[in-house]
Homo-oligomer: A and B are copies of this chain.
Amino acid sequence: MAPAGSSRWCPTTQQLMMLEEMYRSGVRTPNANQIQQITSQLSLYGKIEGKNVFYWFQNHKARERLRLRKKLTKQLQQQQQLYHQLQHNPHFLHYLDSPASPAFQHLSCYNPASANLFLQAGIHDEGGKQVTNYTWNIDIPENVDKNKAIMRMYGSDWLMMVDVGLPLSSLPCYSMISRPPLKTLELFPVTASNLKEECNNIKNNNSNSSNSLSSVSCNITPAKVPVSLP
């Protein structure tokens, strides 16, 4: 709303709503006649004159164009940045192994039969900067269907709930991720879980089936670790 002695038009809420509705409806550059009629209508809801309507559409159109262009260029350069990163880190985006993620099916290359992971630590050059990468070997129970695993909070602990998929017992097993996890992934196997009753069942069932926990590995590459800082 316009303050009493305001030097410029301040559209009332209703006026704005109507203008926006018209804009949505396709009005872009009303001619003089349309402007006059719009003005008369809007004048029912507050002081307004033709030029206000004229300028409003002009500004609105221009600013929408601007917003759109800005958005597009931003998206573009984000894409380019991503592609650039892809070149230097080709693993990126190639890790989603679940068919439940349709958009990634064409990118994923998970081979559940050959799923041996390894620890790797090395220094390589990345964009002129030396970077240390680590991968960890994490012991996870064998036979787990990792695609069915889910993350949950349990009390104050962060759990990775995995299905060990035993032929005789399909009961899920809970493996605990230690806290603080801030040091990045200290995952350890829970043979005799301290958690829930279900695990006792598994444990019992496992006792004779020699379901040793051979290590599944999780290849984890932690944060950039510059070897030398300026």
Contact = CB atoms under 8 A, between A and B. Distances in A.
Contacts of A81: 14, 17
Contacts of A100: 29, 31
A34 B160 contact: no
Nearest to A102: B26
A39 B182 contact: yes
Nearest to A53: B151
Contacts of A183: 40, 43
Contacts of A185: 36-37, 39-41, 49
A227 interface: no
A123 to B, nearest CB: 14
A153 B51 contact: yes
A177 interface: yes
A81 B222 CA distance: 48
Interface string A11-39: 00010011011100111111111111111
Nearest to A31: B149
Interface residues of A, number: 80
A147 B29 CA distance: 11
Contacts of A89: 41, 44
A59 interface: no
A161 to B, nearest CB: 7
Contact of A180 (B31, B49, B148): B49
A139 to B, nearest CB: 12
15 contacts: A14-B81, A31-B149, A33-B140, A34-B98, A38-B96, A40-B135, A40-B219, A41-B93, A43-B220, A43-B223, A44-B221, A49-B158, A49-B180, A49-B182, A51-B158
B32 A82 contact: no
A151 to B, nearest CB: 4
Contact of A27 (B39, B104, B147): B104
B177 A36 contact: yes
A203 interface: no
A46 interface: yes
Interface in A155-204: 158, 160-162, 177, 179-185
Contacts of A25: 101, 103-104
B177 A32 contact: yes
